[in-house]
């Protein structure tokens, strides 16, 4: 391989749909020196292969930011951002759900005649729908505007255009009922349509965020298998030190019931070790001098001394964690096809929605404007590409994390497929 070739991983924030991943990939591939860029939307990571003589991590981060997305400074910062996003989505779903329910009941006066008359008033429905549209739905407008500034369209564009059409039509019917009656149309409002759609999509994003969070928890639980301290044997005797202070060649002591701190070779003593964390086999394995022990496995009954051979990122547990994270960041072949489709999906859907509106407005039954608007909104909203673009990476991410908890390791998305 070329010596100047380097790989760098970035934690991406601000993405929301499959076309976002495509936008970030395009931005990275256009950066000087970049040879390959793969963005995993579910994991929120971009893996970039680049020429270190032409570009550096700062250049890659700048390319992502210029495309309208954020870059977290570290995995911990990305985790904090993801946790905050989940809490925000959960609060939005709760408040939005309550408002949308009231708006829905008030709008369906033919179905729910027992609803108070004031809740059936168009102005009251307008007042209730406005915070859902422009406060809870603000993230969609921001996402759509960010994409538009970079000459792109994404899922946020579909939601913003579709719900705004229903909302603005309803505002017009509320403020100018005489205009509609003059055209032979009984004024109707569809505030419930825009509010319910926004809440449902926020609910979907909340579930997706929770799935990602659970997978991150699986990785953290793997990391938690490692003991935090070790007993080192030195000239002055045995002493307990943080595991970070262990060096290759140190002689360590492990007592019954303790976890093996790092990978090594037994020097003295016989024991039985539970290696189910690595092998999945519940029966303990007998060990003696000259045999290897693996960090984070459980010593059952014997006490022994061993020499540290692999520490830190070189231990078997660290390699397992790295393998799981890399597997979550890879793309299955079918996902690459989904990404290609998703990149062209949103503009195509908008075009189809416009044609649908024109066809119903010209040839549909009366009231044509109402039917044209409703079908225009339906095409935009029902075409959500998130199922296609997110289902595969989210399934891979969750499956690899859950599998790792049970000792089942999957090398890549391609292997899983």
What are the pLDDT digits (tens) for 282-335?
789 999 999 999 999 999 988 999 999 999 888 988 888 877 777 666 666 776
Task: State in Å, rounded, how far the first CA of the chain is from the last one.
Answer: 28
**Better-predicted residue by pLDDT, 358 or 364:** 358
Residue 54 has pLDDT above 60, yes or no: yes
Residue 398 has pLDDT above 80, yes or no: no
Query: How far is residue 384's CA from residue 376's CA, in Å, rounded to a whole number?
Result: 14
Region of poorest pLDDT, from 149-153, 258-262, 274-278, 358-362:
149-153
Residue 154: CB atoms within 10 A of its CB come to: 30
Q: What is the mean pLDDT of the chain?
A: 84
| Whether the Cβ atoms of residue 272 and residue 286 lie closer than 8 Å to each other | yes
E strands present in 220-269: 229-234, 237-242, 251-254, 263-268
Q: What are phi and psi of 152, to 5 degrees?
A: -130, 175
Span 371-392, average pLDDT? 72
Sheet holding 292-293, edge to edge: 237-242, 229-234, 251-254, 304-310, 263-268, 292-293
Full 3-state SS string of 307-337: EEEECHHHCHHHHHHHHHHHHHHCCCHHHHH
Give the CA distances from residue 145 to residues 24, 140, 166, 187, in Å, rounded to whole numbers and listed in that order.
16, 8, 19, 31
Task: Render pLDDT for 74-100 as a digit per residue (tens, 0 to 9).
Answer: 777 777 888 888 899 999 999 999 999
Query: How far is residue 60's CA from residue 71's CA, in Å, rounded to a whole number?
Result: 10
Region of poorest pLDDT, from 4-8, 98-102, 343-347:
343-347
Query: How far is residue 218's CA from residue 43's CA, in Å, rounded to a whole number?
Result: 13
Task: Render pLDDT for 8-29 as a digit per residue (tens, 0 to 9).
Answer: 888 888 776 666 777 788 889 8
Q: What is the pLDDT of residue 337?
A: 73
Enter the pTM of the model: 0.69
| Whether the Cβ atoms of residue 413 and residue 323 lie closer than 8 Å to each other | no
Q: What is the pLDDT of residue 1?
A: 47
Assign 365 a pLDDT band (cuts: 50, 70, 90): confident
Q: What is the pLDDT of residue 264?
A: 96
Query: How far is residue 120's CA from residue 114's CA, in Å, rounded to a whole number?
Result: 10
**Better-predicted residue by pLDDT, 126 or 169:** 126
- Residue length, the chain? 417
Q: What is the pLDDT of residue 415?
A: 79
Percent of the chain with pLDDT over 70: 88
Query: How far is residue 296's CA from residue 320's CA, in Å, rounded to a whole number?
Result: 12
Residue 386 has pLDDT above 60, yes or no: no
Full 3-state SS string of 144-196: HHHHHHCCCCCHHHHHHHHHHHHHHHHHHHHHCHHHHHHCCCCCCCCHHHHHH
Q: What is the pLDDT of residue 19?
A: 66
């Amino acid at each position: 391989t070329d010596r100047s070739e380097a790989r760098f991983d970035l934690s991406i924030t601000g993405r929301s749909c499959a076309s976002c991943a495509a936008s970030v990939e395009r931005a990275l591939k256009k950066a000087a020196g970049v040879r390959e860029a793969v963005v995993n939307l579910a994991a929120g990571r971009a893996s970039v292969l680049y020429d270190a003589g032409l570009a550096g991590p700062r250049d890659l981060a700048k390319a992502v930011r210029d495309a309208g997305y954020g870059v977290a400074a570290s995995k911990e910062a990305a985790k904090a951002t993801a946790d905050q996003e989940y809490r925000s989505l959960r609060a939005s779903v709760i408040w939005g759900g309550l408002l949308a329910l009231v708006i829905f009941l008030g709008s369906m006066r033919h179905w729910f005649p027992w609803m108070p008359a004031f809740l059936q008033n168009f102005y009251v429905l307008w007042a209730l729908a406005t915070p859902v549209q422009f406060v809870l739905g603000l993230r969609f407008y921001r996402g759509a505007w960010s994409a538009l500034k970079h000459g792109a369209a994404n899922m946020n564009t579909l939601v913003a255009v579709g719900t705004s059409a229903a909302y603005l039509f309803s505002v017009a019917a509320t403020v100018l009922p005489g205009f509609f009656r003059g055209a032979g149309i009984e004024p109707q409002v569809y505030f419930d349509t825009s509010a319910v759609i926004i809440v449902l999509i926020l609910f979907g994003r909340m579930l997706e965020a929770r799935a990602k969070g659970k997978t991150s928890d699986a990785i953290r639980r793997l990391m938690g298998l490692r003991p935090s301290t070790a007993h080192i044997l030195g000239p002055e005797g045995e002493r307990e030190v943080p595991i970070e202070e262990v060096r290759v060649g140190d002689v360590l002591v492990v007592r019954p019931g303790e976890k093996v701190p790092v990978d090594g070779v037994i020097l003295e003593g016989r024991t039985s070790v539970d290696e189910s964390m690595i092998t999945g086999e519940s029966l303990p394995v007998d060990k003696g001098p000259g045999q290897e022990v693996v960090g984070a496995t459980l010593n059952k009954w014997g006490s022994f001394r061993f020499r540290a051979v692999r520490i830190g990122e070189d231990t078997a547990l660290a390699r397992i964690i790295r393998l799981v994270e890399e597997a979550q960041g890879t793309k299955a072949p079918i996902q690459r096809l989904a990404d290609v489709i998703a990149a062209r999906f949103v503009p195509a859907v908008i075009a189809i929605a416009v044609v649908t509106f024109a066809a119903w407005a010209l040839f549909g039954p009366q009231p044509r404007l109402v039917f044209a608007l409703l079908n225009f909104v339906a095409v935009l909203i029902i075409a959500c590409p998130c199922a296609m673009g997110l289902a595969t990476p989210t399934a891979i991410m969750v499956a690899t994390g859950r599998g790792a908890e049970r000792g089942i390791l999957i090398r890549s998305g391609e292997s899983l497929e």
